Structure 1
Amino acid sequence: MGKNNPPAVPTLTISTALSQACAHWDAGQAAHAEQLCLRVLDVAPDHPGARQLLGVMAHAYGQLDVGIEHMRAACRSPLAPSVCHSNLAEMCRQKGLLDEAETAARRAVALEPQSVEGWNNLGIILQESGQLPASLECLQRVAALLPDSPEVHNNLGNTCKRLGDNAQALAHYGRALALNPDYARALCNQSVALSDDGRHDEALAAIRRAIDIDPLIPQGPQILARIELACDAMKAEGVPADPEAVAHWRKAVQALRSQGRVDEARSMLERIVRAVPGDAGARFNLAEVLLLQGDFEAGWREYRFRYRMAHTAMRERHMQKPRWAGQPIEGQTLLIHDEQGYGDTFQFLQLLAWARERSGARVVLEVNPNIHALAERGEGADKVIRAGTIPPAFDFHCELMSLPLALGLRVTDLPVRTAYLRADPERVEQWRKRLATLPRPWVGLAWAGRPSHPNDAQRSLALADLAPLAQDGVTFIALQKGNAAAQAAMPPQGMAMVSLCDDIRDFDDTAAILTLLDVLVSVDSSPAHLAGALGCPVWVMLPFEPDWRWLRDRADSPWYPSMRLFRQPAPQAWAPVLAEVADALCMLKSACRL
């Protein structure tokens, strides 16, 4: 018999590679898109399509110089389309290279005379270079093509303002806001024009609303300060924006939170964000405190700034479709994608079915490949895909942890779903046979979380620390993964332990085992969330300064009815927690013998 040759691998053409790269970028998968573009450049250096996409991605992630170099390379090709020159023009404008920007913009409209983007960019460039009549002509051309664009009317307002026509500027800002009442930039510009018109109270209301919508809006605090001075509206106890004072307040917040003085920490953080509205770090810290207090309405609003901090900005996915805000979108497709850790995903998957009901959309869920099978057996998604694969066409997107804001989630809404994840029945049977000879109760143990977690030093333990839990008549089953799993080889004296650490292949194994246990005893980590999502009994040991999701002063979790919380009464005070858990285990042991 002849040999069976493997099927030929289809060649990846430049056209196919760029098509896939664009699809990845549209879905916010920048790393995959970049790899494909670089493969194109390996065989076709300075290919305009690849350079264009690399430039757009670099710009989106704040690498303006890199973006400009890619765009320049793209535009050197005689085949470069109008959009390449238009993008180069906008990037050069942002860099202050107005002459180069104007040249690129004029080339863009010469190649495509009906290019709205090209004429708009040229109009703004001419505005900033002081060529105001020419700017007005360009932007009026754009307005004729897009009469209902709030951005176009805002740009026209800016040119009219520079021309000295304040009344016409206000008319355009008003039109922009009629089309989009939450357009923060137009409100900001309107406030300046109103103040210049002597209408200081209206100006103050406009700039305050702009900052409320987007606290990080450029120049917002400076404009607010000028208008407050102009209308003599500064409060007697007004907050000074002295950098040294703000730095002192930040240190005070850290101290207050570590001492459990959450209400005082909130007041101090609110003081900071009043003084420096654009401080994304303070706003994120405020979000955590608000959520810890159970003030979900304010907390989710501040939590949206989690990717606006310097150390998190590169993690944000730049999607090319709008974010879903909770509105009905019947008949359309909503892509919901996970973020952050496994525990976060397990927790927020309970909102998936609600999002589908509220939106009326076909829901596509994108998750880490390690939990794909679990998510497929869950509720609420019409299709589940692995992260990194190109999703089907979608109309809106939403991060999994942005769903609470979109849905208006309150503490009283919890739990939205219970036992919304299910273990694989075949895996359950496999592990049932494996554990069948062990005496009950079966108590699972997970003593350490992810070491890179910011609060891991406070939340994680060593297995030796769990010695107070050891008692006759209890079978402890180690479920720990990672470096800490090696500790299972030397359990504390008197602890009858069976280690499954090396035998657990994936979360499907963990889920199956959790359904068989009498209880899981865990620190704040992903197995605890998985147990709660499965509706399995779980006891979670929490540090004195817990993560926001566990709220305050309660022994239960509204997220997971099957969960019981054991809290440190003071910083580093694990002994009382372990004593309380040990007592609970005695009661469990007695109940199992009945």
Structure 2
Amino acid sequence: MPSNAQLAQSSAVQAKAARLERAGDLPGALAVYEAGLAASPNDVDLLAGLAALALRMGMPEASAGLWARVCEQAPDRLDAIDARAGALRAAGQFEHALALLGAALDAHPTDARLWNSLGVAHTDKGDAAGALACFEEALRLDGRLAAAAYNRGGALFDLGRLDEARTDFQRARKLARKPLDAVTIDFAEATRALAAGDLGAGWDAYEARLSRDWANPVVFTAPGRRWTPEAPLAGKRLLVLAEQGLGDEVMFANLLPDVLEALRPNGRLALAVEPRLVGLFQRSFPAADVSAHATEAANGRKRRFAPGLREAASIDLWTPMASLNRRFRRTVGDFPATAGYLRPDPERIAHWRAWLGTGPAVGLTWRSGNLLGVRRREYPPLELWTPLLRTPGIRLVNLQYGDCADELAAMSAAAGRPVDEPPGLDMRNDLDDLAALCCALDLVVSVPNATGALAGACGAPLLMLSGPVAWPRLGTPAYPWYPQAGCLAAPRYGEWEPVMARAAAFVAELAGAGQARAAAG
């Protein structure tokens, strides 16, 4: 039993760490917890605080281990079991999470929160039907559990039952008590509307991402007034701040040609983008003033601004990039039919074509850089790529960024020949040259990641491998952002075999066409 002095010391450590977390100083909070545990290594509350922080810092395995220590010392703490399962899910250890929650439910079969967590584990694994049954049991036990209603909506979304998902999101929104929960549900409803093809309502609701109640919110600072959809643009100087991930910046750039047209005859576009995209965007939009945006942490929030902006005092209006969809992409018919709004360097395209030589060449990218938790279900397992890899008459080229040496070796072994590495190309940082390589290839086969977005935006021949329901498809069978792209969607999560079989057949047709051209030539 801890003494009063020990309890006071533990409370002081927790309070100091919490202040640092709120200020965005996660490493500082980590150091405080570690110092506290050095003095009291079995303090359950400090272990729990450190476990939660570790997950927030992207260390799910460490978080799961810390929660296991909490559970050993306090086996009746259902919140610790729940949190440990969440860390295991984030680490991709779905079966372990399911077993842990199943054992807890054997002892506590009427705990709605545990049923909800079991459903989330099924969701992350890609078993939407199993998840749905768990969420229904959670709601039967506690009809006012907002998380279960929200999560059941997510499972229905995954099953393509979008009208039913909307009903559950509405129910969850009425039950939500915390501002973060409310804005999370609002954003889910935005993506549901977009997935259903209701673009007007979807983009309007998509503004929830800018709420100060959002987890890790980004605050934009810029000169001029915030643009609204009804504001006239003709003759104005507009600053557009790109946002979200790299792939989002590339995808949302689809609407910039329309923005430039709306600013005519005397308006001017200033554009702040991810630093790695500056060169490509300068070439693609020569009428715009393109610079790099920057992001800094302050008081627990991220602030995005445009430090390289020229003539800031002349800016009339500013906007985050995705907000422009509210005016320029309210229906699928608003998307241009012409492919390719980004322009790689023609000389670099020629360089890569010379390196590729004759015969069809196919570039491959199979995952994003984030494989935590639910993201894993979005990508076909590597072993299912084997029929495509073994297609004769095709040169295979690696387009996967990040540390992928082991995966690349496995794919080369499955292919029975090397998957070629583009010499001298840093695929994470030299995005302009990566775009040129994509345009030099006969085909890019990609999951929805930054490279796939880059290839699509540049008009490269693209085959996208997608999950069953993806909101960027905007209720269509493909991706309106990239009209030249084909799309193969899995019927359900975990059922990638038909997708990869069709992808292999598509590549075989490309190989056959190449052989026919060679014979004719």
CA distance in 2, matches of 1:515, 1:452: 27
* SS of alignment partner, residue 419 of structure 2: strand
Q: Are 1:382 and 2:288 an aligned pair?
A: yes
Match runs of 1:206-355 below 5 Å: 244-273=144-173, 279-308=182-211, 310-319=213-222, 321-326=224-229, 327-355=231-259
Instruction: Tell me, yes or no, if the aligned pair for 2:195 and 2:469 is still in contact at 8 Å.
Output: no
TM-score (normalizing by structure 2) = 0.63
CA distance in 2, matches of 1:295, 1:574: 28
* SS of alignment partner, residue 454 of structure 2: helix
Distance 1:549 1:269, change over 3 A: same
How far 1:461 sits from its partner (Å)?
Answer: 4.3
Instruction: Tell me, yes or no, if the aligned pair for 2:184 and 2:214 is still in contact at 8 Å.
Output: no
How far 1:270 sits from its partner (Å)?
Answer: 2.8
> 1:516 maps to which residue?
440
Specify every segment of 5 or more residues in structure 2 that has no aligned partner in the other structure, as ranges.
Answer: 1-20, 24-141, 295-306, 517-521
Q: Are 1:591 and 2:513 an aligned pair?
A: yes
Match runs of 1:455-470 below 5 Å: 455-461=374-380, 463-469=382-388, 470=390
Distance 1:512 1:272, change over 3 A: same
Q: Are 1:536 and 2:454 an aligned pair?
A: no
How far 1:316 sits from its partner (Å)?
Answer: 2.8
TM-score (normalizing by structure 1) = 0.55
Letter in 2 for 1:570: R
Instruction: Tell me, yes or no, if the aligned pair for 2:146 and 2:173 is still in contact at 8 Å.
Output: no
Letter in 2 for 1:349: A
Identical aligned pairs, as a percentage? 30
CA distance in 1, matches of 2:257, 2:148: 45
Q: Are 1:477 and 2:401 an aligned pair?
A: no
Tell which has more relative contact order, 1 or 2 (C-alpha 8 A, sep 6+). 2
Q: Are 1:557 and 2:457 an aligned pair?
A: no
CA deviation map 1:300-338 (0-9, x unaligned): 111001132645343232445322123224443211011
The correspondence for 2:408, drawn from 480, 488, 508, is: 488
Match runs of 1:65-84 below 5 Å: none
> 1:568 maps to which residue?
490
Instruction: Tell me, yes or no, if the aligned pair for 1:356 and 1:380 is still in contact at 8 Å.
Output: no
CA deviation map 1:555-582 (0-9, x unaligned): x322211100001112211111100111
Distance 1:276 1:463, change over 3 A: closer
CA distance in 2, matches of 1:243, 1:503: 58
How far 1:252 sits from its partner (Å)?
Answer: 1.6
How far 1:528 sits from its partner (Å)?
Answer: 1.2
Letter in 2 for 1:390: G
CA distance in 2, matches of 1:503, 1:509: 10
* SS of alignment partner, residue 304 of structure 1: helix
Query: Cα RMSD between the aligned structures?
Result: 2.7
* SS of alignment partner, residue 371 of structure 1: helix
Rg comparison, structure with higher value: 1
CA distance in 2, matches of 1:363, 1:410: 24
How far 1:383 sits from its partner (Å)?
Answer: 0.9
> 1:412 maps to which residue?
333
Distance 1:247 1:455, change over 3 A: closer
Distance 1:319 1:305, change over 3 A: farther
Specify every segment of 5 or more residues in structure 1 that has no aligned partner in the other structure, as ranges.
Answer: 1-60, 64-241
CA distance in 2, matches of 1:320, 1:313: 23
* SS of alignment partner, residue 493 of structure 1: helix
CA distance in 2, matches of 1:529, 1:345: 9
Runs of 4+ off more than 6 Å: none
Letter in 2 for 1:259: L
- Give aligned pairs, total: 353
Distance 1:316 1:502, change over 3 A: farther
CA deviation map 1:181-236 (0-9, x unaligned): xxxxxxxxxxxxxxxxxxxxxxxxxxxxxxxxxxxxxxxxxxxxxxxxxxxxxxxx
CA deviation map 1:262-282 (0-9, x unaligned): 221022213333565961111
CA distance in 1, matches of 2:422, 2:164: 43
CA distance in 1, matches of 2:424, 2:355: 11
> 2:499 maps to which residue?
577
